[in-house]
Amino acid sequence: MFEMSDYQDAVDYIYQKTNKRPKVGLVLGSGLGVLADEMVDAVHLPFKDIPHFVKPTAEGHKGELVVGKLNGVEVVLLNGRYHYYEGYRLDEITFPIRVMKLMGVEKVILTNACGAINTSFKPGDLMVITDHVNLTGNNPLIGKNISEFGPRFPDATEIYSKRMREVALRVGSELGISLQQGVYAWWTGPMYETPAEIKMIRVLGGDAVGMSTVPEAIVAAHAGIEVLGISCLTNMASGILPRKLSHQEVLDVASDVRESFGKLVQSIVAKI
């Protein structure tokens, strides 16, 4: 388990490289790293160089922290993330979120590429996350609580900010980008779900399923950071269509929607 001093080590290193103090954080999912290239006056810091960060192994995740301006707003951006299936502890997966908190981040946008369970959705849709279902049997807050970040028993009534969801929907309407809304189910991976498991998740109320985001959202909400989650629905989940799933399909569809995704997130950043 990390101590408060470990998080401060990482912040001190970042502050050696930049004097920017962003209030907005971004986490980019598989194939969605295009926004890192849109930043200006940017400082790029590889995860491997930041104390206590580890290098992501997932394809489509570059593994760098970027501090700069996006659409005129100072942001800190994670171009890539860690996943449970990579073998990392949950405190390692969520370490960057707490570093953002110590940097002064007050709002975070978490993005991901995931599979659609709701059959009214289609690949290429963007979904605003309204809530989540944790199917992993684990939680990043298990263990010693660091009270400087938040309480031992945090409320989970509104992990995904209603105010920020409304901003996202309004921005989508202004840009002519249709946004779905739904519940995101967190699956450990790396194996995709079986058709029977997808049926179970649908019964439990899941509209989409993926292998990330939820631990970051829990830790961010625990620390008092306002959270917005946006999923890029890259495929229909297992058993819905008569074909097998592949990670290449995820990357291809994410690439196809990166322009509209980029416009949406940049506009949201300016509004929040």
The answer to whether residue 212 is catalytic is yes
The catalytically annotated residue of 112, 161, 235, 238 is 235
Statement: residue 42 has pLDDT above 80: yes
- Specify whether the CB–CB gap between 220 and 149 falls below 8 A: no
Give mean pLDDT, residues 191-218: 96
Residue with tokens 């593994």: 63
CATH 3.40.50.1580 at 4-271, yes or no: yes
Statement: residue 241 has pLDDT above 70: no
Q: Which DSSP letter does residue 27 get?
A: E
The answer to whether residue 112 is catalytic is no
The answer to whether residue 44 is catalytic is no
The answer to whether residue 71 is catalytic is no
The answer to whether residue 160 is catalytic is no
Q: Is the peptide bond before 190 cis (omega within 30 degrees of 0)?
A: yes
Statement: residue 10 has pLDDT above 80: yes
The answer to whether residue 249 is catalytic is no
- Specify whether the CB–CB gap between 65 and 96 falls below 8 A: yes
| pLDDT score for 218 | 98
The pLDDT confidence band at residue 58, using thresholds 50, 70 and 90, is: low
Statement: residue 60 has pLDDT above 60: no
The answer to whether residue 134 is catalytic is no
The answer to whether residue 235 is catalytic is yes
The catalytically annotated residue of 36, 113, 208, 223 is 113
Every domain of the chain and the residues it spans:
4-271
Q: What is the pTM of this model?
A: 0.94
